[in-house]
Amino acid sequence: MSKPASQSKSAKGGAKKKVHAEHVQPQMKVVLSDACAVCATPCARGIAYLERMSKPGALGKGVPCVLTLPKKRMKQAGK
C-alpha cells in the first residue's frame, strides 16, 4: 500500500533539533606544505601531503591540521 500524500518523511521523524547561537563546531585550520615541513609533531596526513607537493608541478590547496583545533575551555568550578 502507498502512503497518504499528507504524510512526509519530516512529519514522521519528529521535530528538528534547535541550534544554539553559542554552540560553534570546532574547525581545523588548513595549512600548506611549508607548515607541514617545519611541524614539531608530523602526522600521517601532513607527511603524505608534503610528499605530493614535493613533486614538480604539483598543485595543492593545503590539508586540515589536527594540531590547530581550538582548545576546550574548562568551566570554573563554583561560578
Q: Where are the domains of the chain?
A: 26-68
Which pLDDT belongs to residue 22? Answer: 78
pLDDT tens sequence for the chain (79 residues):
666 665 555 556 677 777 777 777 888 999 999 999 999 998 999 999 999 999 999 999 999 998 888 877 655 554 5
Handedness of CA 56, 62, 66, 71 (dihedral sign): positive
β-bridge mates for residue 63, sequence order: 31
Which pLDDT belongs to residue 13? Answer: 65
Which pLDDT belongs to residue 70? Answer: 82
Which pLDDT belongs to residue 38? Answer: 93
